[in-house]
Chains A and B, each alone.
Chain A
Amino acid sequence: MRSMNLMYGSTVGFPTTKWLIKEGANSRSGYMRVTRSAQYKTNLWYCAVPTLSVENKKNNRKVRQGLSGSMSEKKAQAWLRRL
């Protein structure tokens, strides 16, 4: 909610925020209305890896990083959880 307001709070028609981060996107109907009114149909888009989410990729990076270097027992257990 907070990051939504920070990113989009200055756009035209966005529901009024309070102190930059409060309200705004939390006014659900207002948010839905302004979003729908500004939507365009996308005819073409490209996704590099369609089957992985951003969090998946971040996790994969951490797995890769853990393959080299040394680790404590505790860190090794945390790393194994990522698999």
Chain B
Amino acid sequence: MQAMIVVKKKERFAMRQPNAVDFWRGFALITIFINHVPGLFYERFTHRNISLSDSADLFVFLAGWGLRYAVGRADSEVPIKQVVMRVLGRAVTLYAAQAMIVLIAIAMLGATARGLDNPLILEWINAAPIFYNPADAHLGLAMLSLQLGYFDILPLYVVLMLMAPVMVLVHRSAPNWLLPMSLALYLLAIVLRINLPTWPTRGQWFFNPLCWQLVFVLGFTLARERGPGRIAREHLHLIQLLAVPIILGCGVMMWFSWWPDPTKVPSPRLLFLVSKTYVTPLRLIQFLALVALFSAVYPFIVRHAGRVVGCLALLGRNSLHVFCAGSLLSLMAQIVRVSAGASILLDTVIMLVGISLLGFTAWLSEWRDRLGGKTA
């Protein structure tokens, strides 16, 4: 009887098999880690050097895609109350994670500044207000209006999770209206340049939630079996054919810096320029082209690099823990490079150790879950 209970609990806590979503999420986590160490030698090999978009777009898109599982399939929808509680609970989890990693990051900066006798470290990643204007800064941290550099995507997720109940309600009551409403909000924010302000520092959110919500909604709607998702799947080959020149063209423009003069484009200019903050149309279209094209790549990778798929999927299954670890590891990497000086050898060690620790974090997270399953 005891053995049967343990087997049932093991089945309940069995980790899901590698899949495309977890694989690409894991890929995004590794590239985010590398790109968050400015000046790292291997930064030049990430796709953001030949792409208008980067892993942030992929991460948010996949977060929206994942909302599909919380909502349930069209023929077996999860009760709305349950969905709302789940996403709001997720918002709290993300907020707590943000608070924890920011606290640790602040401690790392303070310790490094004293250890190296270098006050400039206190100004790294927008941390200066925390040390020089602590009263207002801590209020800003609590309100998410003050964000450290490279620690500014979780606040976006918190806002998206707070917006998610509205998205789900609209989807349930008028599914054809969700994407148009999201698109309207996105265009309004771009045309009128509306963004959330930062405080107490002057400025705006690096990731404008009013614009990035469209990436999230696109992930959600394209994941669904009906509506835009069904249309996209039925015409996938055509879309992929169209995607090739878009991706190649953008890659060439990035490589050779062939950009139109931004002062010469028509108004409203943001519609024709590339901005990560506003995830402007050019960037968004190029990202969607990448999604369309690379959706065909996963089966090939599984056939020929199954172990790689398994490793990256492990990271993707435990994305929050891995992301938090990655944020702190990338900051640690910056500190090491400042202290020890930069070299290809050191950057190689940083990358290998960093990725290994990300993997260890994911393994530890799943080990804890399995342990909890045995003793629950």
Chains A and B form a bound pair: no
